[in-house]
């Protein structure tokens, strides 16, 4: 018996951005991305490829000011898309953890699809920008993803020297942790919580 498609579509329009996002949880890692922020697209591709999610994003934002609003609002939409695609969370593993090395850098992401939004980050980046991308937006992205996805997310950057490698390792670890946490486990009956709900 085939499982129903776990997918969602989210649209969000403000005075600052216009975002349309489609997510398929049980995909193959295919992406179709157009946000006006190339480094963000590079990181979204890592999340989708390593999480085996299919992801389509169209975003128009006030990038003539800076990338902040676009990065933030894409993260908001992605978090909402995960929440909607997971539905009542029956049968999911709930927890995910992944270590990812990238050359000299090592990052870890741990996820609990708990219904309780929380974000913790440990680590420091040696540079404030990668190309024209402001590194402080990495924290903003992860926090808004956790908040809107109603998940507990811990990202630990253990070490590294190259800022690009360090950020990319974090996003790859996120994708792999989310893949594990959102996966269906046939041994799990109902919602994986003693409360009977994850909200």
Tens of pLDDT, residues 117-163:
999 999 999 999 999 999 999 999 999 999 999 999 999 999 999 99
Look at residue 43 and tell me whether its pLDDT is greater than 80.
yes
Range list of β-strands (E), the chain: 7-13, 17-24, 31-34, 54-61, 95-102, 105-112, 118-122, 129-130, 133-134, 152-159
DSSP 4: P
The pTM (predicted TM-score) of the whole model is 0.93
Neighbouring CB atoms inside 10 A of 73's CB total 22
With a pLDDT cut of 90, the percent of the chain lying above it is 87
- Measure CA 61 to chain center: 19
Pairing of strands 105-112, 95-102: antiparallel
Bridge partner residues of 7 (DSSP): 24
More confident residue, 114 or 59: 59
Query: How far is residue 27 from each of residues 46, 66, 88, 126, measured CA to CA in Å?
Result: 14, 32, 19, 35
| Residue positions counted in the chain | 199
Over residues 149-162, the pLDDT tens digits come to: 999 999 999 999 99
With CA atoms as reference, report the closest residue to 54 among 110, 5, 98: 5
């Amino acid at each position: 018996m085939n499982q129903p498609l776990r997918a969602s579509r989210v649209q969000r329009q403000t005075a600052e951005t216009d975002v349309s996002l489609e997510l398929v949880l049980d995909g193959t890692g295919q992406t179709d991305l157009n946000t006006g922020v190339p480094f963000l697209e590079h990181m979204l591709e890592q999340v989708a490829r390593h999480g085996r999610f299919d992801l389509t994003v169209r975003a128009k934002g006030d990038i003539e000011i800076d990338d902040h609003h676009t990065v933030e609002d894409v993260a908001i939409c992605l978090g909402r898309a995960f929440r909607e695609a997971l539905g009542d969370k029956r049968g999911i593993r709930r927890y995910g953890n992944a270590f990812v090395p990238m050359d000299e850098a090592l990052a870890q992401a741990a996820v609990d699809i708990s219904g309780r939004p929380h974000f913790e980050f440990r680590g420091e980046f040696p540079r404030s920008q990668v190309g024209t991308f402001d590194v402080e937006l990495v924290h903003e992205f992860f926090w808004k993803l956790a908040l809107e996805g109603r998940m507990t997310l811990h990202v630990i950057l253990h070490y590294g020297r190259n800022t690009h490698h360090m950020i990319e390792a974090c996003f790859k670890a996120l994708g792999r942790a989310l893949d594990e946490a959102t996966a269906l486990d046939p041994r799990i009956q109902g919602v994986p919580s003693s409360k009977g709900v994850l909200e």
